[in-house]
A and B are shown apart, each in its own frame.
Chain A
Amino acid sequence: MRRKMTSLLLAVAKVVSSTVRKYSRFADLKLAVFEDQDFARGDHEAFRAAMRRLLEPAWTPLVVVRTRDEGQTYTYTRQEGADKFKVLICVIGERDGTVLEVGLNEEEFFKLLSNPEEESKNITDSATSQGDDKDK
């Protein structure tokens, strides 16, 4: 009975892990979340200059979106191979910040290039929810 239960649980685990792999959009994901900060008083121009200084030219800027309500989003990209790309997205809100680095295949990267502003949001949402799932 115990052996049957174990093999059943292993089978379920296998299905779950293959489903996670199937639905995971990213080859790899590094995520850092900074909560309960006060970014509202920060100097945005100085921050942007620092981003440029630290990331360029290894990373190429793609899009920077700054809105009064939703904060700032910086999207940088880097080609890692013939059809592999890295994307670095930094989202700064008033009270929190998220920095994520993801590996994208060509198809996903093309999606990002087709609509950088919208796809940067989608990747961030997708990656942070993936990060949340990992935490659980």
Chain B
Amino acid sequence: MKTVVRHTIKLACLAALVACAAAVAAAQQPFASRLQIENLDALAPKAEKVVDVTLDENLLKLIPAIIRKADKNPNHPDVKRAAQIAAGFKGVYVRSFEFSEGGQWNDSDLASIRAQLKQPGWSRVVSVRTKKDGQNVEVYIMTDPSSVGGLAIVATEPTQLTVVNIVGRISIEDFATIQAHLPNYFPDLGIEIGDSGDKKPETKREAAPATKKP
């Protein structure tokens, strides 16, 4: 009888250990919507200015309070919504480059990022090309319901390149809300909400149709 009890305890301990190990492994697993953007660092020597912003989960916990504090009317529904959206973020990564002249970067520099955004789960929801200024904005959303969600923006101009990656549940409308409250983190893409694929009317553009992948 004693032996049975001892074996049962041992098995229970082993099961607990396996459960713990699985939990740790799951916690260490990188989020599917976290993009590897470090390869862009190769552009740094050519750039006039490089800004690399990282907001990890610990810092993000403070962002809702900052949004509320920064606004004169913290009880405004828009402020509350922005704080609520930010509370769901797991990570924010922004990398932007400014060049003194055009031709310092090319599409191959973005190949690795675009390849990641072709992975299942990512959907391109906005794509805007402006012929006149050579601007190009693409917005991707992680639609995989089993993931934590995410958003990616690739915004380029001949002398500028910006990649934004948000890990967490967010829609394109949410991005516009959060951008208005955290303008120092996110570029104003000039995207009119409710008109996916369009930019502000004063911009001459050639909008590519939004594509969705499963």
Contacts and interface: CB of A to CB of B under 8 A. Distances in A.
B49 A66 contact: yes
Given A63-B52, A65-B51, A68-B49, A79 B58 contact: yes
Interface string A112-133: 0111111000000000000000
A64 interface: yes
Interface residues on A, range: 20 to 34
Contact of B66 (A60, A62, A79, A110): A110
A63 B182 CA distance: 15
Contacts of B69: 110
A116 B184 CA distance: 8
Contacts of B45: 44
A109 B61 CA distance: 13
A62 B54 contact: yes
B90 to A, nearest CB: 14
Contacts of B184: 114-118
A66 B44 contact: yes
Nearest to A69: B48
Contacts of B49: 65-68
Contacts of B55: 62
Interface in A80-132: 109-110, 113-118
Interface string A17-51: 00000000000000000000000000011000000
Contacts of A63: 51-54
Nearest to B48: A68
Nearest to B52: A64
B211 to A, nearest CB: 33
A133 B44 CA distance: 36
Nearest to A44: B44
Contacts of B59: 60, 62, 77, 113
Interface in B94-141: none
A67 B48 contact: yes
Contact of B58 (A44, A60, A68): A60
Contacts of B41: 45
A118 B183 CA distance: 13
Interface string B45-79: 10111111111101100110110011000000000
Contact of B63 (A66, A67, A79, A113): A113
A61 B58 CA distance: 11
A116 B55 CA distance: 11
Contacts of B47: 66, 68
A113 B123 CA distance: 30
Given A44-B44, A79-B58, A110 B65 contact: yes
Contacts of A116: 53, 184
A117 to B, nearest CB: 6
B53 to A, nearest CB: 5
Interface of A: 44-45, 60-68, 77, 79, 109-110, 113-118
